[in-house]
Structure 1
């Protein structure tokens, strides 16, 4: 009865009217460009799914083992979704796409679970810098959303090929490592179940994954768990031993006691994993029946033609909302004030949300409006969905006098102290501090996804190139030197081109700054699934739900 009353109340909200000319030349060009970018993504996803390649996969099968994605497919409930996280990690680097780890969220025995699985066809499952980021992200998702954490381990430990150069493009040192183990222990401390299935070698750091898990399943004649394998044992102590005797599955099941379940093969191990999850408490949250969910009035296919490759072209974010919200209904807040920031309430797959989207740069009044709206959503515990198309905060004397720093800081303050779940989708531009005001990845989002058209940078490529040109011009004038206009024009073009390439969403997702690039047509379903995950923790303590804010500079 309550559910029906809620649906009835929501249907009192007027749906958004469509102003999209689906037959117009701009829409058709946008759609063609988007499909081209999606085709590129599909090709890259296929490459990432291939792991270490056909030969490595066939060697794995020859040893009687399943590829990592087949292991995951078999543990999931039949016909249930699997939301893969950062599948293109490592794009643009010399590491395999995906970073040697598959990470995602799926339903196992009726329960949403995080699954983090080593791909043994990539460097024997060794942990690469990109794989480590995905591993940490998987643990974070389990902790923040209170869902079980499953690890499928077949890992040679850390990547020992490093020659002193940092292949990840970032400085790192062994002294900084180990945080993932700390975080795994914290999951157990928070009463979030951790289940480890050891499919192969779990060496050195890999050994601590079963060692720190609540439940451990090992596979006969495949699983081997030891701090040091036979070569290192011989180097360290002179002892000569065989791998199976040193750390085989039977030894750990019958002698050391590390293993809780002894599986005769991989399928048996997967069955045991499902049984472990099945004996956990029943999920406390119920999924909304599909029959009760009102679909949008406009087809998701139309999302393909809304964003231009030229991000200077205007986008009315309401037209995106109209194609992801139930019944295309949207109750807009302060519709005639702060018009470049669109705020309001909607439902997505039956779940109430506050939506904040951009129709241009953030002005002082738009900052205040969004900060107010965030506080309202926190007061009644409604999650927030942020839809980015933001070139940044508006600059200039007039706007400084109007308090853009102060009012922009109010917005960032509200975002930072908000305690409801944040879900972010970067549709197009996400530049500068506008990213902060729209709850970018660094601001505690539960999930962040990109459209293929997304670009992320400190500012637009043209602006960066122009600023550098002005700096060169001012320096020449200060030093009394002639200014070479032709050379400056070449530098401007080269700088703009370089920053244009670096701002692409593919580069960002390759660095694991988000949870992945999605097909715009999947936006509603991805958000709906993530909202279900964030609705209430299945396990662990409830997060702090008391709204609290720092000092606003009013």
Structure 2
């Protein structure tokens, strides 16, 4: 094991410029985060409070053990996606601790469009259920939703990964022995009524909680019957007559206390302590903002990043002299062991082979994997094709795809094209994935894409005996660059749930430690690799 030594001059002009540029990027994330946390407008929040109801986030924090963290998933979902504001996709999801046990929490935000499900709200719900299943977490549903957002029904109802998948997931996780617990704290309408009806144990709040397949308006339209919401599907009916709910609560606080008690006696596993005492790095993580180059134009030194993330800045490197453009090795974060793969340049054949071999070792030793992206992709050109870059890159993608140990992915710089796949991008199944505020990701870099498109047009004109003028070239390139730059940002990615969070460098160790703690005692799977082409 080696103690990493930093060579960064924190008093230099470049460090200061980088830190200032990073602060600008932080501000845009902070503004979006504040809008997400606020929820609905002031009028909607007042109407919610007048009914004696806590907001979605207050419910979550009232549920969790005092002083414990809440690891939110998809906080920035739906930001600037729809033609109307839908903060956090009208749903709060994340991992917290209840009665000493890690759980996945779902809380509809009824101050946002009545807590109705937009397409990204369904996608966020399903994503959180996937994380819960993979990590063996009980699920707690704090239900307060008007059902689907009907104007977008075609994007919500008929598909394999639409609304019905939520209920299938509840049934399957219950069958796996993962407790499914609901508290009906407001409306629970139409298909959404199946959430409490399918859970193992359900609480309902007197006066506010309702469960029905068709609300009063639909009943009147379909049958002519006039009935109020509480008579149709209120707490008294469902605890005394139907048995849809098991426990009657007098208010939100009472319901949350009941849920806490249910979780405590559910048999869920407690939070796993780290195998060794956590230690801070030797270098301040706050310095990371000055190390990451403004605009990602300069090299980001891999070992400087690790020196500020790993416990005690200690790192045991694997094949340090071979394939040096990718750095692999083991260390600890928050006392939990982890195998680290971090880019230190473009991927060559030998660096791809080295990383694939390292992943095999981590699987054999049952070590979680952390991928830190800063990658333009694989090296291209006739020489490297002849050296088998495609074949060796495929080995790495194979290893990343099949490794069944917990995998976590963080984009700290760029993450482009096939390099994203090789570094366990979203399509490769990381248990959680995040980006730093300065990070960027597209299929190819904006400049490269624009240049390629201009070259293609130039070649077409050359066949006609014409040339591409500088003005025409600029007219081709500028819109492409602007579009790619807008679509490459962390806020754009997080709004569409392509990453689970945007994490600040100073908070990265906490995010990683919570991720590793969540997975420490999760159900294990056997790994079988596909065929490696030799």
Instruction: Give yes or no for TM over 0.5.
Output: yes
Match of residue 208, structure 1, among 194, 208, 233 = 194
Question: Take 2:80 and 2:448, find their aligned partners in 1: how far apart are those partners?
Answer: 24
> Do the aligned residues in 1 keep the contact of 2:17 with 2:294 (CA within 8 Å)?
no
The equivalent of 1:552 in structure 2 is: 532
Match of residue 123, structure 2, among 122, 133, 138 = 133
- Unmatched runs of 5 consecutive residues or more in structure 1: 1-12
1:174 aligns to 2:158 (yes or no): yes
Cα deviation for residue 346 of structure 1 reads 0.5
Question: Take 1:380 and 1:199, find their aligned partners in 2: how far apart are those partners?
Answer: 45
> Do the aligned residues in 2 keep the contact of 1:224 with 1:249 (CA within 8 Å)?
yes
Question: Take 2:80 and 2:268, find their aligned partners in 1: how far apart are those partners?
Answer: 43
1:260 aligns to 2:240 (yes or no): no
Question: Take 2:59 and 2:349, find their aligned partners in 1: how far apart are those partners?
Answer: 52
The equivalent of 2:262 in structure 1 is: 276
Cα deviation for residue 281 of structure 1 reads 2.3
The equivalent of 2:133 in structure 1 is: 143
Cα deviation for residue 55 of structure 1 reads 1.7
Cα deviation for residue 161 of structure 1 reads 2.8
The equivalent of 1:388 in structure 2 is: 373
What is the aligned length? 530
> Do the aligned residues in 2 keep the contact of 1:100 with 1:126 (CA within 8 Å)?
yes
Question: Take 1:242 and 1:496, find their aligned partners in 2: how far apart are those partners?
Answer: 56
1:417 aligns to 2:405 (yes or no): no
The equivalent of 2:96 in structure 1 is: 106
The equivalent of 1:24 in structure 2 is: 12
> Do the aligned residues in 2 keep the contact of 1:355 with 1:385 (CA within 8 Å)?
yes
The equivalent of 1:507 in structure 2 is: 492
The equivalent of 1:33 in structure 2 is: 21
Residue by residue over 1:78-128, the C-alpha shift from the partner in whole angstroms, topping out at 9 and shown as x without a partner, is: 011001111111123124231100111111111111101100001100001
Could you tell me the TM-score, scaled by structure 1's length?
0.93
Cα deviation for residue 284 of structure 1 reads 5.3
1:199 aligns to 2:185 (yes or no): yes
The equivalent of 1:378 in structure 2 is: 363
Question: Take 1:270 and 1:282, find their aligned partners in 2: how far apart are those partners?
Answer: 17
1:441 aligns to 2:419 (yes or no): no
Match of residue 116, structure 1, among 88, 106, 110 = 106
Equivalence map 1:220-239=2 (5 Å)? 220-239=206-225
Question: Take 1:282 and 1:534, find their aligned partners in 2: how far apart are those partners?
Answer: 14
> Do the aligned residues in 1 keep the contact of 2:77 with 2:120 (CA within 8 Å)?
yes
Question: Take 2:200 and 2:80, find their aligned partners in 1: how far apart are those partners?
Answer: 37
> Do the aligned residues in 1 keep the contact of 2:374 with 2:412 (CA within 8 Å)?
yes
Cα deviation for residue 30 of structure 1 reads 1.0
The equivalent of 1:8 in structure 2 is: none
> Do the aligned residues in 2 keep the contact of 1:338 with 1:369 (CA within 8 Å)?
yes
Q: Provide the alpha-carbon RMSD of the alignment.
A: 1.5
Residue by residue over 1:518-545, the C-alpha shift from the partner in whole angstroms, topping out at 9 and shown as x without a partner, is: 11101111101110111112xxxx3323
Cα deviation for residue 54 of structure 1 reads 1.6
Match of residue 218, structure 1, among 184, 204, 216 = 204
Give the secondary structure class of the aligned counterpart of 2:141: strand
1:97 aligns to 2:87 (yes or no): yes
Question: Take 1:301 and 1:194, find their aligned partners in 2: how far apart are those partners?
Answer: 39
Question: Take 2:275 and 2:357, find their aligned partners in 1: how far apart are those partners?
Answer: 33
Residue by residue over 1:132-165, the C-alpha shift from the partner in whole angstroms, topping out at 9 and shown as x without a partner, is: 1110111111101101101111111000134x9x
Cα deviation for residue 361 of structure 1 reads 1.2
Cα deviation for residue 175 of structure 1 reads 4.4
Match of residue 359, structure 1, among 332, 344, 347 = 344
1:51 aligns to 2:39 (yes or no): yes
CA shift in 2, pair 1:173/1:225, >3 Å = closer
The equivalent of 1:332 in structure 2 is: 317
The equivalent of 1:189 in structure 2 is: 175
Give the secondary structure class of the aligned counterpart of 1:357: strand
Could you tell me the TM-score, scaled by structure 2's length?
0.97
Give the secondary structure class of the aligned counterpart of 1:117: strand
Cα deviation for residue 228 of structure 1 reads 0.3
Equivalence map 1:281-292=2 (5 Å)? 281=267, 283=269, 286-288=272-274, 292=277
> Do the aligned residues in 2 keep the contact of 1:98 with 1:130 (CA within 8 Å)?
no
Give the secondary structure class of the aligned counterpart of 2:172: helix
Question: Take 2:80 and 2:442, find their aligned partners in 1: how far apart are those partners?
Answer: 17
The equivalent of 2:411 in structure 1 is: 426
Equivalence map 1:292-307=2 (5 Å)? 292-307=277-292
The answer to which of 481-490 and 138-147 deviates more is 481-490
Match of residue 42, structure 1, among 23, 30, 40 = 30
CA shift in 2, pair 1:285/1:105, >3 Å = closer
Cα deviation for residue 288 of structure 1 reads 3.0
